[in-house]
Amino acid sequence: MPAEETEILAVDPQDPNPDAIRRAAEVIREGGLVVLPTDTVYGLVCDPNQPAAVDRVYRAKGRPRDLPLALLLRNMAQVSAQVERVPEAAALAMQQFWPGPLTVVLGDRSPATAAVRAGSDTIGLRLPAHIVPRLVADTAGCPLASTSANRSGQPAPTTAEQALHHLAGLAQLLLDAGPAPGGQESTVISFATDPPEVLREGALPVERLREVLGEVRAN
């Protein structure tokens, strides 16, 4: 589903127009790509249950196929629907830092998530502290396969204008809610190891994780 021109809809970050949310959900259900704001940076999202849509994300970004995508959730209850086992430390991290800029990586070998896992046996989950992606996920009826809305290797966009610069004509729809409030990508921590390991330090400092979790490995 190539996009000849990216549709742009302005949305209030506190009280987004329901029509814009429904339009985004419609594009996602049809296998298209949507650029939207999160609490960290602007993201490029699709339906993770449609391998062709996931493939479009990789091609639009020029993203290496061995790098997995994360899932943006609409609520905490969706965690149990995605993974069978949540370690105690991971549950504690979610309770303390969700919704917020923390991506939690858990063990997962489900065939349903194979397209976004990129050959790995883990899945990244995040509950964003931004109403727009959560409403879109809720209305679309699925978590959102997500990555930052930029060409691979370029800085993550913090505004709709920056995202459009990278992905104009490659995404069907862009929801413009003004600057992303966080301005920095999420911190990614894997609980597939013991002790847990920070794979990327972002908006949430490693020191805050250690205050809550105790021993945490980090480069």
Summarize the confidence of residues 193-215 as an average pLDDT.
97
Between helix 131-140 and helix 18-29 the angle, nearest 10°, is 50
Q: What is the pLDDT of residue 112?
A: 86
94 falls within a domain: yes
- Where residue 219 falls among pLDDT bands split at 50, 70, 90? confident
Considering the domain boundaries, does residue 219 fall inside one? no
For residue 2, is it within any domain?
Answer: no
Quote the strand ranges of the chain, DSSP E.
Answer: 7-10, 34-37, 42-46, 70-72, 102-107, 122-126, 144-148, 173-176, 187-190, 197-200
| Residue for token pair 């990216």 | 6
**Whole-number Å distance between alpha carbons of 28 and 137:** 9
Mean predicted lDDT score pLDDT of the chain: 96
Strand partners, 123: 106
Q: What is the pLDDT of residues 136-195, one digit of tens each?
A: 999 999 999 999 999 999 999 999 999 999 999 999 999 999 999 999 999 999 999 999
Statement: residue 3 has pLDDT above 60? no
Block residue for tokens 């029509």: 19
How many separate domains does the chain show? 1
185 Cα distance to chain centroid: 10
Pairing relation of β-strands 144-148 and 70-72? antiparallel
Q: Which of 5, 16, 2 is nearest to 136 (CA)?
A: 16
Tell me, yes or no, whether 1 lies in a domain: no
Number of Cα atoms under 13 Å in the Cβ half of residue 143: 29
Find the domain containing 135 and state its range. Answer: 7-213
Q: Given phi > 0 = left and psi -120 to 50 = alpha, else beta, which region is 61? A: alpha
Q: What is the mean pLDDT of residues 65-85?
A: 94
Distances (CA, A) of 1 to 32, 95, 146, 149, 219: 6, 38, 18, 18, 40
Confidence of residue 74 (pLDDT cuts 50, 70, 90): very high
- pLDDT for the residue numbered 62: 97
This prediction has a pTM of 0.96
Q: What pLDDT does residue 84 have?
A: 86
Please give the helix or strand (H or E) that residue 210 lies within, else none: helix 206-213
CATH number of the domain within which 44 lies: 3.90.870.10
Q: Is a pLDDT exceeding 70 seen at residue 2?
A: no
Is 150 within a domain?
A: yes
